[in-house]
Amino acid sequence: MRHGSGWCAAAVAFVFAGLAALALAGAGRGSTGVPEGVVASTPRWAPGEVVVGFHPWVSGVARREVVQDESASTLRAASLPGVVLVKTAAGQSVPDAVDVFRSDPEVAYAEPNYLYHADATPNDPQLPQLWGMAKIAAPAAWDITTGSPAVKVAVVDTGIARDHLDLAANVIAGTDFVQNDDDPRDFNGHGTHVAGTIGARGNNGIGVTGVNWQVSLMPVRVLDGNGGGSNANVSAGFQYACEHGANIVNASLGGTGYSITIRDVIASPACANTLFVVAAGNDGTNDDSFPHYPCDYDSSPDNLPNVICVAATDSSDALAGFSNYGARSVQLAAPGVSIPSTWPAYDTLYTQGFENPFSGWVATGTWGRSSNVSAHGTFSATDSPAGNYANGLDTLFYSASSVANLTGRVGCRLSYNLRLATESGRDIFGVLGSSTGNANDFVGSGWSGSTAGGFFDFTTDMSQFDGSPTFYPGLGFHSDLDGIVGDGGYLDDLSLGCLLPNAAAYNTISGTSMAAPHVAGVAALVKAAHPGFTVAQIKAAILNGVDRLPGLAGKITTGGRLNACKAVGGCSAPPFTPPKCLVPNVVGKKLGQAKTKIKARHCRVGKVKQAASGKKKKGRVLRVSPAPGKKLKNGAMVNLTIGRGNTR
């Protein structure tokens, strides 16, 4: 995802299949931020997986027969009755499988198992300065309430560092849909950061304070250590949160794939009493024109009433350059630039600054040290010390001996500074690990594109090696044969760290992912102050209480930034004026087209009357009432007369 200040996240998992072959093996997009131009070379959906929703009348036996008839297999039941996750037939593409299942009359819908990613962009660490709390008038709101453990907020994300000293008192039981267990620890940091903004323990003399000093934080892990996940996991996480009593769900994640499964879970009766606070996305684009989900479920054609979509503002109350926006789809903004919050603590087991000759490291290809480019010190490691990397060359550079014993360790990862200049999406610089030291066994994640001449912080999840008595770090490079080459990659300050229990760490990062938890936190404050409030009342209190800002006018629905004090009722809140219903001219349109256009104008479809023309076929719209062009209150009814008559 692109960040407006020049950031874009793109983790690509791959594996060395031999010394001279760098092959793609995974498909998760990472939450770790990288500079503009670094793009994912992965698909938008999980390979070989399709989510199939059957009509309610189709029996379990019939569902199995449909799957078997297509030479596919059922992986597991999804989050809703009659919905299954299917493994496609061997050699069949996901789009082809979707088309095949959609053509079956017993199938209500079929869709790819879309991948979603955390909407955050890491930045350089700063001293904790909670400017966002002051900006949203949280101190004034705390005069009314500091939260309540009776309010449950599900953080559907990368998990939470549940033993973090600034969070532990507020974290309750949750679950992990990535590793399918009840240990939703955070191997990334994103979810822990989100949790801290919502509810880091207040008034305890440690670190930061969340919007709520006390609240029940429910960790629901649906994104892996690189920040990637699928709609099967996200929908299951949403369903779990609702069924386990979450009043609010914070979903600081998103993607461009429209998932019927996720939509149906949010709209299900189990989630009717749960408010979903979601991030608008970090592409700097208009969500009205380029939808971002789950954000756009709050707008036409879905108009789900229990969704709030949040853009990001900076400390000057300007819309962040990276933030998505949308007058119809994004409802308010909140602080999302350089936000300090909680972070998992790591125990560093190994460091390598490449300041000494490469003794103990093995190179296949042209790897070496560079004294021309470094993040710190004098040297960095590079795939092309003599200049541009070679065309069509795959190389590996790795430690010949184990650097750490990971027995008893969890959540291990490699951190590093990287400068990159490669062909975007084609030539890949990889950061790898192995438990054997065999050149064929190195796996990790790769980066592609340009960092515009600078070094930036990155991490690669190595938790698959947790518990291994040996660990070997490595670097890899893949160049295709198209003749386009660049300066390659320069890596410095490589370190191996694993989670450190019962500790506290903090980080300052940016993104709409950081804006959404400010709103989710305020929603929890409103619920604490007004326990009887419904989802609609909580949402109205937040939207009615925004501070309207000139820079947000026309960009988001309310034109305003979050104000916690007004939302809880402690300050004067100007009335929120919803957009008007402008009756469209849909005469001559087919009924389905007319309904879509009416909803897009903030109106509702009223009575649909068949013209007394003597013909049974419905045909097209003959008349609209009230007349096209009328401006009415938001959600006003528009009635239609349809038939085969004259459409004048």
Nearest-CA neighbor of 167 among 182, 144, 145, 189? 189
Mean pLDDT lowest among 20-24, 167-171, 360-364, 531-535: 20-24
Least confident range of 65-74, 389-398, 592-601: 592-601
Tokens 């590793």 map to which residue? 179
Q: Compute the average pLDDT of residues 513-525.
A: 98
In this structure, are residues 527 and 564 in contact, taking their beta carbons and an 8 Å threshold?
no
Tell me what pLDDT residue 573 has. Answer: 56
pLDDT at residue 450 greater than cutoff 50? yes
Query: Mean per-residue pLDDT for 54-59?
Result: 93
Q: Which has the minimum average pLDDT: 133-147, 151-165, 319-333? A: 133-147
**Is residue 13 predicted with pLDDT exceeding 50?**
no
**pLDDT score of 577:** 60
pLDDT digits (tens, 9 = 90+) for 87-132: 998 888 888 889 889 988 899 999 999 888 676 543 423 334 789 9
SS3 360: coil
Q: How far apart are the first and last CA of the chain?
A: 48
Give me the helix-helix angle, 190-199 and 512-529, nearest 10°: 30
Higher model confidence: residue 171 or residue 584?
171
Which one of 14-28, 497-511, 601-615, 621-635 scores highest in mean pLDDT?
A: 497-511
- Which two structure tokens, joined as six digits, stand for 76? 């597991």
- The pLDDT confidence band at residue 585, using thresholds 50, 70 and 90, is confident
pLDDT tier for residue 393 given thresholds of 50, 70 and 90? confident
Confidence of residue 205 (pLDDT cuts 50, 70, 90): confident
Helix (H) / strand (E) containing 639: strand 637-643
DSSP H helical segments within 428-552, as ranges? 512-529, 535-544
Residue 337: pLDDT over 90: yes
pLDDT band (50, 70, 90) for residue 357:
confident
pLDDT in tens, 31-46: 333 233 333 334 468 8
Q: Can you give the pTM of this predicted structure?
A: 0.79
Q: Which domains does the chain have, with CATH numbers?
A: 19-25+346-499 (2.60.120.200), 45-114 (3.30.70.80), 129-344+506-568 (3.40.50.200), 581-643 (3.30.10.20)
pLDDT exceeds 50 at position 1? no
Q: How far is CA 511 from CA 189, 287, 310, 416, 452, in A?
A: 14, 16, 11, 21, 20
pLDDT band at 575 (very low <50, low <70, confident <90, very high): low
Confidence of residue 386 (pLDDT cuts 50, 70, 90): confident
User: In this predicted structure, what is the pLDDT of residue 645?
Assistant: 63
pLDDT band at 302 (very low <50, low <70, confident <90, very high): very high
Q: Which band of pLDDT confidence, cut at 50, 70 and 90, is reported for residue 594?
A: confident
List, in sequence order, every residue forming a beta bridge with 156; answer none if it has no partner.
Answer: 220
Residues in contact with 71: Cβ distance below 8 Å, sequence separation at least 6, in sequence order: 89, 90, 92
Residues 520, 562: Cα–Cα separation, whole Å: 11
Tokens of 94: 């996901």
Least Cα distance to 258 among 116, 56, 467, 462 occurs for 116
Does 644 score more than 50 pLDDT? yes
Lowest mean pLDDT among 118-132, 180-194, 228-242: 118-132
User: Are 415 and 491 spatial neighbours (Cβ–Cβ below 8 Å)?
Assistant: no
Predicted confidence at residue 613, as pLDDT, reads 61
Q: Identify the pLDDT of residue 433.
A: 97
pLDDT score for 130: 87
d(CA 460, CA 440): 19
Residue 238 scores a pLDDT above 80:
yes
How confident is the prediction for the chain on average, in pLDDT? 87
Q: Please state the rounded mean pLDDT for residues 513-542.
A: 96
